[in-house]
Structure 1
Amino acid sequence: MIYTAIDNFYLTDEQLKNSPSRKDGIDEATETTLRIYGCDLIQESGILLKLPQAVMATGQVLFHRFYCKKSFTRFNVKKVAASSVWLASKLEESPRKARQVLIVFHRMECRRENLPIEHLDLGSKKYAELKIELSRTERHILKEMGFICHVEHPHKFISNYLATLGTPPDLRQEAWNLANDSLRTALCVRFKSEVVACGVVYAAARRFKVPLPENPPWWKAFDADKDGIDEVCRVLAHLYSLPKAEYIPVCKDGDSFTFSMKSSDLQSKPASKEVPPSSPLVNSDSNAAKTAPSSGNLESGGSKDELVDPNGKESRRSDDESNNVPTEGGVKDDSVPKSKSEHRNEAIGERNKEREKDRDRERDRDRDRDRERERTKCRDRDRGRDSDREREREDSDRDKARERRRHSKDGGKDSGHSDKSRHHSSRDREYRSSSYSSRDKERRRHHSYA
């Protein structure tokens, strides 16, 4: 059982030999190649994402720690590398979006496998599946680490050690490069950062032929031992002797960041189902074809003359068929097996055909949409005409109502004037009559006094 704690994730050689990948039947060379391949992906993706070196170093350490607990057959090395970069960018406070990580890994896979570089459609089902798988793998890493992702790199010790030893400045860059290369190996899970730093300093000093103090030994001042330093140098020398790491498909989950794996699987399945002409199934079918007409003639109750001619014809046919079978087999045997480039060309041709079909479908959809738009426009025009007619009718009705109101008002005004004139005339008459009566009374008074 491996217990994870802060700066305590270190394994022995026996634990590494009994790793989950070894238990699943993966040999040491394959496991080493896959580890180097995954670290190369992390380093290259970090450069393309413009991440600092600390993010790439943390991602590689998390990658090695994860595969110390899980097997390469259960988790795809490409997806684990992508999730390690994504998680390390968050831990080192240089986060990147999942979309950026997936686009970079998709492009790297196209380049490494010599596939045509295609744009990763962000609205496709493939992108949605990759995004879900990226977050799921990140959760697996966090679960196996116990959410303790503290990483201590040997880089911060190198400058202090070289300054203490008083070495030339050129030695610092060489030791830094060796420390970056050591992350491709399992040294980060075998030795502490101080031991790895002493090992790369010793290797850089040997390469530049710079003497280091040995009496007393310089490594004892930095809490390191000679055996650990020698092992670090041996692992680095073995790393430089290996060829460039290539991807080895050992994972049961064959999905990748491109459609190349699926297309190759689809091409390989129908080829495996074909039966060779020399198989017993073909021979049994030919024998059945030979015996079928004779049995049919025996069952039919005809005369001897009728039996002779058909048998002769059928025997000739069977001879011709038997002569034709090996020639067909010879033609099939002489056929040359297709190479990988031909399979890729066929896959590219199939993709182009599918794209053309998709384009035709999109064109048909666009045409249907245009037709629907024209129909809706015509309907809107008809509706607009009807609405205009209704508006005109309403306006005419309103005008008529207004005219009626005006006529009614004019009639009311005329009747009011006549009533007023009548009222004034009656008042004038009363005034006149009253004035005449008052005058008569005064006259009568004057006449009486006289």
Structure 2
Amino acid sequence: MQHSHLRIAAARLELSDVASFAASAYLTRYATSPPPPMPAAATAGSRDGGAEAAAGADAEEEAAARVGACLFAACKACEQPRRARDVVNAVHLAARGEVLRDSRTYWRRKDALLQHEQSLLRALGFEPAVHPPHRLLYNYLHALRAPPQLCTLAAAIANDAAASADCVRRRPSLIAAAAIALAAALLGPALPAGCLPPRWWVALGEEEASLHAACTDLMAVYEG
């Protein structure tokens, strides 16, 4: 769910595929990190909501702060800077489907975002570099003269690869080739006959076993 909200927020912020991929990769790597101390949610002392509502509000704000921090850091790393205010509002809109109007909630979420950004950078070892597969993917598709529907689906699969820790650890060139292979398999008969040459991945320097393993990792993103 967090990755879904992240992609929606990235679209609202008009980020490139590369920046969106980086943010999603950060979120994948950050998922196992302990959260920093968070400001108390506004509902914590509410009589109406009780402890259960307060816990739900805390969880929602925790998720929003993680997503926002990953987007905010990716914007900087990919040289597509966005204001913290815009990131907070985009994440809230993605999660709730409505504009954030409460000023106290806004300031609390902005503070939480900045705290999480520091925690994220520590989790990354202050090495925020990410190597998205997109440039290689587009070059491969151009070289293969792939039809438009294959290009569109392969790019979407490459974007989703960042949601898998296994995919994030693999070479960008392998993920690019696997995205093409998986897209071709999913489209099947919808593709023009012979649109891809036999064993095309060999020309890209990939082995069939490695390609199959990477495709399995990509499929796990959707099966999970």
What is the TM-score normalised by the length of structure 1? 0.39
CA distance, structure 1, for counterparts of residue 66 and residue 164 of structure 2? 16
Distance 1:72 1:144, change over 3 A: closer
Structure 1 stretches lacking a partner, 5+ long: 1-36, 112-116, 243-450
Which residue of the partner structure matches residue 205 of structure 2? 223
Q: CA deviation at 1:191?
A: 1.1
CA distance, structure 1, for counterparts of residue 36 and residue 215 of structure 2? 30
How many corresponding residue pairs?
A: 196
The structure that has the greater radius of gyration is 1
Distance 1:145 1:238, change over 3 A: closer
Which amino acid in 2 is paired with 1:107?
Answer: L
What's the RMSD between the two structures over aligned residues? 2.7
Which residue of the partner structure matches residue 96 of structure 2? 110
Distance 1:130 1:74, change over 3 A: closer
Residue 154, structure 1, aligned to residue 124, structure 2? no
Which residue of the partner structure matches residue 177 of structure 2? 198
Q: 2:215 aligns with which of 233, 250, 267?
A: 233
Q: What whole-Å deviation, never above 9, does each CA across 1:118-155 have from its counterpart, x for those lacking one?
A: 74333x3x433322211111111112222221111111
Q: CA deviation at 1:78?
A: 2.9
Residue 129, structure 1, aligned to residue 108, structure 2? yes
CA distance, structure 1, for counterparts of residue 205 and residue 180 of structure 2? 14
CA distance, structure 2, for counterparts of residue 177 and residue 107 of structure 1? 22
Which residue of the partner structure matches residue 21 of structure 2? 57
Which residue of the partner structure matches residue 144 of structure 2? 165
Question: Greater relative contact order (Cα 8 A, min sep 6): structure 1 or 2?
Answer: 2
Which residue of the partner structure matches residue 319 of structure 1? none
Answer yes or no: is the 8 Å Cα contact 1:82–1:102 preserved in 2: yes
Greater Cα shift, 135-144 or 224-233: 224-233
Q: What whole-Å deviation, never above 9, does each CA across 1:346-375 have from its counterpart, x for those lacking one?
A: xxxxxxxxxxxxxxxxxxxxxxxxxxxxxx
Q: CA deviation at 1:224?
A: 2.5
Residue 44, structure 1, aligned to residue 8, structure 2? yes
Which amino acid in 2 is paired with 1:121?
Answer: D
CA distance, structure 2, for counterparts of residue 223 and residue 47 of structure 1? 33
Which residue of the partner structure matches residue 77 of structure 1? 63
Distance 1:109 1:240, change over 3 A: closer
Q: CA deviation at 1:196?
A: 0.7
Answer yes or no: is the 8 Å Cα contact 2:69–2:114 preserved in 1: yes
Which amino acid in 2 is paired with 1:106?
Answer: H
Q: What whole-Å deviation, never above 9, does each CA across 1:1-56 have from its counterpart, x for those lacking one?
A: xxxxxxxxxxxxxxxxxxxxxxxxxxxxxxxxxxxx22111101011222222221
Answer yes or no: is the 8 Å Cα contact 1:171–1:208 preserved in 2: no
Matches within 5 A, 1:46-445: 46-67=10-31, 70-71=33-34, 76-111=62-97, 117=98, 119-122=100-103, 124=104, 126-206=105-185, 207-209=187-189, 211=194, 212-214=196-198, 217-241=199-223
Structure 2 stretches lacking a partner, 5+ long: 39-61
Q: CA deviation at 1:170?
A: 3.5
What is the TM-score normalised by the length of structure 2? 0.74
Q: CA deviation at 1:237?
A: 3.3
Q: CA deviation at 1:162?
A: 2.5
CA distance, structure 2, for counterparts of residue 55 and residue 46 of structure 1? 8
Which residue of the partner structure matches residue 394 of structure 1? none
CA distance, structure 2, for counterparts of residue 176 and residue 72 of structure 1? 32
Which residue of the partner structure matches residue 327 of structure 1? none
Answer yes or no: is the 8 Å Cα contact 1:103–1:120 preserved in 2: no
Which amino acid in 2 is paired with 1:237?
Answer: M
